[in-house]
Structure 1
Amino acid sequence: MNNHLKFKTGASVFEVRGIPAMRQALPLALQHVVAMIVGCVTPAIIVAGVAIDKGTMTPSDKVVLVQAALLVAAVATLIQLFPIGKYIGSGLPVIMGVSFAYLASLQAIAGDFDVATIFGAQLVGGIVAVIVGIFIKWLRPLFPPLVAGTVVFTIGLSLYPTAINYMAGGQGSADYGSAKNWFVAIVTLILVVGLNHFGKGFFKLSSILIGILVGYVLAVCLGMVDFTAVSQADWFYIAKPMHFGIKFEVSTIISISILYIVNSVQAIGDLSATTAGGLDREPTDRELSGGIIGNGVASVIGAFFGGLPTATFSQNVGIVATTKVVNRCVLGLAAVIIFLAGSVPKFASVLTTIPQCVLGGATVSVFASITMTGIKLISQEPLNYRNTAIVGLAVALGMGITLVPEALALFPAWVTTIFGKSAVVVATIVAVLLNCIIPKEKPQEDS
């Protein structure tokens, strides 16, 4: 029998294997669910909003996309916790969810094409992630902290316009920029930041959820929430494959595949943080390879069932490191709860009624933390002339071209799709090339 499937009952929650008592496991599992659920569904809500504005998606499809986000997060988590064979899954105590790192590119694809094109690119990207996982040993030198940090920093910067547009009520909305939207957004933001810095225990770990709940109640009192979709939603839903379809478009495939490579390498950081914080060791090569391959497989599954790209959730890594609760059955129970939530359209439809100003107020701090994570990675290496030139040029070209996409107007449309829609793609290519080409500075010897 596979060792991953052998369990002893009555195990401690501080042991990786074994089945702990339900009275211990359930509250710890719920803590993980509370920490990730809003962050997991928010990218789906934002992408759906773009597609609805474009006329390629209906409001009922928005609920399906949110449900699929939860379902694929649960499946991806279970694959990581309980590996399939020797190579698919890390076997480490991690929670997976739909990643913000892909959001800017997904918005661009939904705006220029449709959601089916996202899933076509994701299908190929998942296969690319599997290949990266197989060869991760040889690819890691291309992405030292300087390069990885530059990419993560650019991801954070590229998401700021999304947060600000949402705080103002959503671009194109009738009350865009109204005082009411900004009031609710700022109240939400103050709560999230306040709990993050002054809260303790549950309140600190659940700062985003609490901020959204308070902002939501405030929005209801101000008449900003429409519950029509909730009353019309079913109580139970079975995911149907190919609900959104799959379309392949070369330029979007290239763009998303580059992101999969970058985020596969970036996953090493979260997996390392999990093992260091929860298990007091470094991850093995097999665990790293299996984790990346497992995420690639989950992305392929998600492409067929409408679940957007997943990644390890840093807030849940933080919970593992803080509590030292590493039992896989605890996190597996969390995955089951997430799966059940994704099977109830009433629940998913409630999430879609959250006003955009509330989401903006809650997520701007998340995007800020992504940016600062990038800066922390960059600062792991000396900020000498060479390294600052690499970071500066990569970010300047990535953000600059994205902010002025008309600069590529005379090029074929596919050039704009690949290089003009996502700052991350350009920044990644430039950072990797410059890091390989520019010679490293020799350390100065003391005179």
Structure 2
Amino acid sequence: MKTFILSVQHLLAMYAGAILVPIIVGTSLHFSSEQIAFLVTVDIFMCGVATFLQVWKGTGTGLPIVLGCTFTAVAPMILIGQTKGISVLYGSLLLSGVLVIIIAPFFSYIVRFFPPVVTGSVVTIIGINLMPVAMNYLAGGEGAKDYGDGKNILLGIVTLLVILIVQRFTKGFLKSIAILIGLVVGTVLASFVGVVDVKQVGEAHWFALPQPFRFSGLSFDLGATIVFFIVALVSLIESTGVYHALSEITGKQLTRKDFRKGYTAEGIAIVLGAIFNSFPYTAYSQNVGLVSLSGAKKNKVIYGMVILLIICGCIPKLGAMANMIPLPVLGGAMIAMFGMVMAYGVSILGNINFKNQNNMLIIAVSVGLGTGISAVPHAFKALGSQFAWLVQNGIVLGALSAIILNFFFNGIKNDQKS
């Protein structure tokens, strides 16, 4: 019974992220309610599969690591889905996963090309690019008849306030599910003003297995593949920190082979996510805190969570329930979650020496180009469509700028504190 309760805790700690990403992406790509419900359930299912790949010693690190969909992929998925189509989105995502599998044995060597000044800049750009999405949702959703209505703003602000209050005045497990609590409270309040659609829950099925290629087949695009590969590299760097943290918490020493298996497991998870029209996956840091807090360091707790995720991922009604959350409520939560992505990027940049003007220029130019071209995507349209993947995508332009400028100014030094 104790193991079951601990497994449920881990599920709840990652649940908000697991349902928010598919709802945001599905809504932005104008999926129907039924399609979004499927997207939520297949994502929950694939979180279970991805986590199993990482926890099982045969394919992953063997540490109690939870894999979930990464928020850094949200903006690229929306952009590519809207401009190039769903088939290109998933085809390019699959190719990026294959590339991760290929570089997995060598990643510990090439990581020096992605020091904090590079990864911090990229994550900051991604966070900034996500914020307009959050604000549009807070206002009721772009194109909505009641866009900017006071009722929408109030629901979003109340949701955000609940999250902040829970974060400030609670500890331990409750603190780890502050986002989930905010979403529940916001949705309950929204039901009193008649903006919660419960009809879709009644229409959803009780049981359905995930289907590969539910939305589309696969098409491939160089620019989109590069975008997702850059996102994957950033996720691998974040996951490396999780590996080290859990290695210390559990007392299990990791070898280079373990790191290779961990990276490979994430690459396989990305490939499977593309096949099932789901998402790229990365290690969830919030669950690391839960392992430390609960003292439950054995993998059987995570295996229990895997079983729960797979079961929940076969119940479309749960996906429909998640999709009931009104857009303004989502917007309030997204301000906190996307803001944390941006803040995390800034915290990574905090590890560098800001007295070094070279580092300052790398950040200034890469973040400036990355956010600037996102605000004015057609500034370089004269270069032609063949370069659109580079000059009309803020994440790619910013990331490549950071990598090239870092190599120009700093070489391949991994330590930039001096």
TM-score normalized by the length of structure 1: 0.88
Match of 2:187 in 1: 216
User: How many residue pairs get matched?
Assistant: 414
Match of 2:42 in 1: 68
> Displacement, 1:283?
4.0
Residues 418 and 425 in structure 1, CA contact (< 8 A), matched pair in contact too: yes
Which of 10, 13, 27 aligns to 1:35? It is 13
1:79 corresponds to 2:53: yes
Q: Evaluate the alpha carbon distance shift between residue 124 and residue 443 of structure 1 in structure 2; reply closer, same or farther with a 3 A threshold.
A: closer
> Displacement, 1:282?
6.4
- In 2, Cα distance between equivalents of 1:153 and 1:137: 23
Match of 1:396 in 2: 368
Match of 1:106 in 2: 77
Match of 1:379 in 2: 350
1:234 corresponds to 2:231: no
Amino acid at match of 2:49: V
- In 2, Cα distance between equivalents of 1:328 and 1:320: 10
Amino acid at match of 2:296: V
Deviations 1:294-313 (A, max 9, x none): 01101111211122111111
Q: Evaluate the alpha carbon distance shift between residue 282 and residue 185 of structure 1 in structure 2; reply closer, same or farther with a 3 A threshold.
A: farther
SS in 2 for 1:97: strand
- In 1, Cα distance between equivalents of 2:119 and 2:148: 35
Q: Evaluate the alpha carbon distance shift between residue 308 and residue 199 of structure 1 in structure 2; reply closer, same or farther with a 3 A threshold.
A: same
Match of 1:47 in 2: 25
Residues 92 and 287 in structure 1, CA contact (< 8 A), matched pair in contact too: no
Which of 323, 327, 333 aligns to 1:352? It is 323
Residues 145 and 377 in structure 1, CA contact (< 8 A), matched pair in contact too: yes
Amino acid at match of 1:257: F
Amino acid at match of 1:49: T
Deviations 1:147-187 (A, max 9, x none): 22222222222211111111111111111111011101000
Residues 150 and 395 in structure 1, CA contact (< 8 A), matched pair in contact too: yes
Q: Please show how residues 422-433 of structure 1 align to structure 2 within 5 Å.
A: 423-433=394-404
Residues 212 and 362 in structure 1, CA contact (< 8 A), matched pair in contact too: yes
- In 1, Cα distance between equivalents of 2:417 and 2:88: 51
Deviations 1:347-404 (A, max 9, x none): 1111111111111111211122222222222121211212111111110111111111
- In 2, Cα distance between equivalents of 1:282 and 1:411: 51
Q: Evaluate the alpha carbon distance shift between residue 202 and residue 265 of structure 1 in structure 2; reply closer, same or farther with a 3 A threshold.
A: closer
Residues 353 and 417 in structure 2, CA contact (< 8 A), matched pair in contact too: no
Match of 2:234 in 1: 262
Deviations 1:247-298 (A, max 9, x none): 223322222222222322332122223223x225764322222111101101
The 10-residue stretch of structure 1 (315-324 or 338-347) with the greater mean CA deviation from structure 2: 315-324
> Displacement, 1:443?
11
Residues 254 and 418 in structure 1, CA contact (< 8 A), matched pair in contact too: no
- In 2, Cα distance between equivalents of 1:444 and 1:353: 47
Q: Evaluate the alpha carbon distance shift between residue 443 and residue 338 of structure 1 in structure 2; reply closer, same or farther with a 3 A threshold.
A: closer
Residues 352 and 417 in structure 2, CA contact (< 8 A), matched pair in contact too: no
SS in 1 for 2:297: coil
- In 1, Cα distance between equivalents of 2:156 and 2:205: 30
Residues 234 and 345 in structure 1, CA contact (< 8 A), matched pair in contact too: yes
Deviations 1:122-149 (A, max 9, x none): 1101011112212112211101122222
Q: Evaluate the alpha carbon distance shift between residue 234 and residue 406 of structure 1 in structure 2; reply closer, same or farther with a 3 A threshold.
A: same
Amino acid at match of 2:369: L
1:161 corresponds to 2:129: no
Match of 2:341 in 1: 370
Which of 167, 170, 189 aligns to 1:199? It is 170
SS in 1 for 2:403: helix
TM-score normalized by the length of structure 2: 0.94
SS in 2 for 1:311: strand
Which of 13, 18, 25 aligns to 2:3? It is 25
Q: Evaluate the alpha carbon distance shift between residue 374 and residue 282 of structure 1 in structure 2; reply closer, same or farther with a 3 A threshold.
A: farther
Matched-pair identity in %: 31
Q: Evaluate the alpha carbon distance shift between residue 253 and residue 70 of structure 1 in structure 2; reply closer, same or farther with a 3 A threshold.
A: same
Residues 133 and 264 in structure 1, CA contact (< 8 A), matched pair in contact too: no
> Displacement, 1:414?
4.5
> Displacement, 1:411?
2.6
Amino acid at match of 2:137: Y
Deviations 1:52-95 (A, max 9, x none): 1xxxx4332221111111111110000001033xxx31211111
1:300 corresponds to 2:271: yes
Please give the root-mean-square deviation of Cα atoms over the aligned residues, in Å.
2.1
Match of 2:282 in 1: 311
Amino acid at match of 1:38: A
Deviations 1:185-233 (A, max 9, x none): 0000001011112212232111111110000000111100111211111
SS in 1 for 2:68: strand
Which of 398, 411, 426 aligns to 2:383? It is 411
Match of 1:8 in 2: none
Amino acid at match of 1:347: L
Match of 2:120 in 1: 149
Q: Evaluate the alpha carbon distance shift between residue 357 and residue 157 of structure 1 in structure 2; reply closer, same or farther with a 3 A threshold.
A: same
Residues 70 and 235 in structure 2, CA contact (< 8 A), matched pair in contact too: no
Which of 262, 277, 287 aligns to 2:258? It is 287
Structure 1 unaligned residues grouped into runs of 5+ = 1-22
Residues 25 and 78 in structure 2, CA contact (< 8 A), matched pair in contact too: yes
